[in-house]
Homo-oligomer: A and B are copies of this chain.
Amino acid sequence: MAVMSYIQAVTSALKDEMERDDSVFVLGEDVGKKGGVFKATEGLYDQFGESRVMDTPLTESAIAGVGIGAAMYGKRPVAEMQFADFIMPAVNQIISEASRIRYRSNNDWSCPMVIRAPYGGGVHGALYHSQSVEAVFANQPGLKIVMPSTPHDVKGLLKAAIRDDDPVLFFEHKRAYRLIKGEVPEEDYELPIGKADVKKQGDDITVITYGLGVHFALEAAEKLEEEGISSHILDLRTVYPIDQEAVIEAAKKTGKVLLVTEDNKEGSIMSEVSAIISENCLFDLDSPVQRLAGPDVPSMPYAPTMEKYFMINPDKLENAMRELAEF
C-alpha cells in the first residue's frame, strides 16, 4: 500500500486506466501542459501526448457534447470541468443528452463518459469556486453521481466510473485534494458504484454523509467517543442513485440519524436520504432525522467570517451529534 493524497489518487487512476485502455482520453481546460489548475492531470500530457490529454477551448457545453459524441463512437472520454461551478453551461448536454442516450435509443446507443469536477468549499473560493452542485443532477435517471471521500475510494471509484458503460459525474472535493491522505493498494482494484460504505461502526447515533463531511464526522466521532457516545458513520460515496439498502440499514442500526452535507439545506441530496428513511424506518426511529447543512444562501462568501459561518466543520458536527445522542 502506498500513502497518497486525494488528488494523487485521481491522477493515478487516470494514468492506470489510460495505460490499460487506449480508448480512454482526457479533455478539458488546461489539462494538458499545465496539468490542470489543481494538477489532477499532471504528467499525463507528457506520457500520453496531446491527442489523449486535450486542452479544449473554454467551452463547457462543447467539452461535454464532444465527449458525448466520442463516447457514442466507442471512446471513453474523461472530461474535466475546471470547477464544478462551471458545469452549468453544460447542463443541457449532460441532462438532455448524456443521461438519456441509452434510454431514448432503446439500448441501441450508449454514452460511457466520465465528467470530473472539483467541488466544495472552505478554500476562500467564494460564491463561484465553492459550490456543491450535485443536487442539480440528482434527479436525472441515466446519470450516476459519485462523490468519494478518501484516496482509496477515489481511485477505486474513478476506475469503476471510467469502466462504466453509462455516464458518471465524478465530483472531487477540492479541499480534500491535498488535505486528505490515505493508503491506496498498489494493485488494480475497482469499487462498486452505487454502494455506500460504512466508515465507522457505532451504536448510539448514525451519521450519513459524503465527501469532506466523512472526515469531519470521523473527527467529531473520535471526540465523542471519549464522552461515551458511539457513532456509526455511513459514507454514501454514490449520491445518485442512492444506496437505499445501506441507508435503511444504517438508520435502523441506531434509530438516531444525522444527515450532513455542505450543500444548502433545502433540496440537497440529504432530503432524499431523509425521505428514504421516512418511508422505510419510521418505527425504528428514536428521534427526528436531523440535517446539518449550509444555510439557504447562494453558496459561501469570500470574507473569512461569513465563509466560516456557512461551511460545515468538525465542531458543528460534534455539536449536532452530541445533541442527537442526548435526544
- Cβ-defined partner of A141 (8 Å) among B242, B275, B278, B298: B298
Residues of B within 8 A of A138 (CB): 135, 266-267
**A100 to B274 CA separation, bound complex (whole angstroms):** 27
**A271 to B263 CA separation, bound complex (whole angstroms):** 15
Is the CB of A325 closer than 8 A to any CB of chain B? no
Is the CB of A269 closer than 8 A to any CB of chain B? yes
Evaluate whether A142 and B99 lie within 8 angstroms (CB atoms) in the complex, with A240-B267, A272-B266, A279-B289 already known. Answer: no
Q: Is the CB of A127 within 8 A of B141?
A: no
Closest to A295 in B: B141
Is the CB of A214 closer than 8 A to any CB of chain B? no
- Cβ-defined partner of A275 (8 Å) among B100, B240, B275: B275
Copies of the protein in its oligomer: 2
Is the CB of A4 closer than 8 A to any CB of chain B? no
Q: Is the CB of A267 within 8 A of B269?
A: yes
Complex A-B: 13 CB contacts under 8 Å:
A85-B96, A103-B297, A135-B138, A138-B266, A139-B266, A141-B298, A241-B296, A242-B266, A266-B272, A267-B269, A274-B275, A277-B278, A279-B288
Evaluate whether A140 and B92 lie within 8 angstroms (CB atoms) in the complex, with A127-B104, A240-B266, A279-B288 already known. Answer: no
- Cβ-defined partner of A127 (8 Å) among B100, B136, B280, B289: B100
Q: Is the CB of B298 within 8 A of A103?
A: yes
Q: Is the CB of A136 within 8 A of B271?
A: no
Residues of B within 8 A of A89 (CB): 61, 91-92
Is the CB of A291 closer than 8 A to any CB of chain B? yes
Which A residues are closer than 8 A to B by beta carbons? 61, 85, 88-89, 91-92, 95-96, 99-100, 103-104, 127-128, 135-136, 138-142, 240-242, 263-264, 266-272, 274-275, 277-280, 282, 285, 287-291, 296-299
**A166 to B52 CA separation, bound complex (whole angstroms):** 45
Q: Is the CB of B241 within 8 A of A266?
A: yes
Q: Is the CB of B128 within 8 A of A139?
A: no
Residues of B within 8 A of A242 (CB): 266
Shortest A193–chain B CB gap in Å is 15
Q: Is the CB of B289 within 8 A of A278?
A: yes
Residue of A241, A268, A274 ringed by the most chain B CB atoms within 10 A: A274
**A102 to B55 CA separation, bound complex (whole angstroms):** 35
Residues of B within 8 A of A268 (CB): 139
Evaluate whether A88 and B92 lie within 8 angstroms (CB atoms) in the complex, with A267-B272, A288-B282, A298-B140 already known. Answer: yes
Shortest A208–chain B CB gap in Å is 12
**A156 to B89 CA separation, bound complex (whole angstroms):** 33
Q: Is the CB of A128 within 8 A of B96?
A: yes
Shortest A71–chain B CB gap in Å is 17
Closest to A134 in B: B139
Residues of B within 8 A of A88 (CB): 91-92, 95-96
